[in-house]
A and B are shown apart, each in its own frame.
Chain A
Amino acid sequence: GAVVSQHPSWVICKSGTSVKIECRSLDFQATTMFWYRQFPKQSLMLMATSNEGSKATYEQGVEKDKFLINHASLTLSTLTVTSAHPEDSSFYICSAVSTGLRYEQYFGPGTRLTVT
């Protein structure tokens, strides 16, 4: 149990376009999902906290107008990278918290974004 999927697993887009990444909890409900960014050989940096039915909370330094997060249901959160640029190329990882279990984050496999 506790499986989190991400789609797509990798995507290439042109500079200036937008790309949407989906994060789904497959067998449990997640009131909270987190979005991380991971640069090569670096740690996971938390970008934002996504709560179902409310606005996402962004970490300091993360542009909320660039990284749009929507958590429309208890099993789906989306991250849209708007007007992508090469510096947005990265590995994006989501995690989902099973309702009621503190710190019990289940991680998706990640999405590799390359902006050309």
Chain B
Amino acid sequence: AQSVTQPDIHITVSEGASLELRCNYSYGATPYLFWYVQSPGQGLQLLLKYFSGDTLVQGIKGFEAEFKRSQSSFNLRKPSVHWSDAAEYFCAVGADGNKLVFGAGTILRVKS
């Protein structure tokens, strides 16, 4: 069965610093991978997704992610974090029946 691991529960970065959130997945075939952001009072918003093709995926709000099959990873990056990026981030993998399997999430704190 598919599974997603986000090793970091909390991450704190300084505003303007770079960010990398880790995600590892378990899936037998080529995975469909997603990153979502959840802000308080708002629904999950899709940042980016990988289905096939170029392994470096660009998303909204300046985020990107790189699919590395050899490492079963799909890490999310941003070169310069803004205070408004503070939120919880979820990595997910597509499963049968259009389902999504989510990781436990990483809470990002941004310090000024």
Hey, which bits of chain A sit against chain B, CB under 8 A? 4, 9, 32, 34, 41-44, 46, 49, 57, 93, 95, 97, 102-103, 105-110
Contacts and interface: CB of A to CB of B under 8 A. Distances in A.
A46 B47 CA distance: 20
11 contacts: A9-B41, A41-B9, A41-B105, A42-B105, A44-B90, A102-B98, A103-B98, A105-B98, A106-B43, A109-B41, A110-B43
B54 to A, nearest CB: 18
Q: What does DSSP make chain B's interface, helix, strand, loop or mixed?
A: mixed
B33 to A, nearest CB: 10
Chain A contact residues: helix, strand, loop or mixed:
strand
B32 interface: yes
Interface residues of B, number: 22
Contacts of A93: 43-44
B109 to A, nearest CB: 13
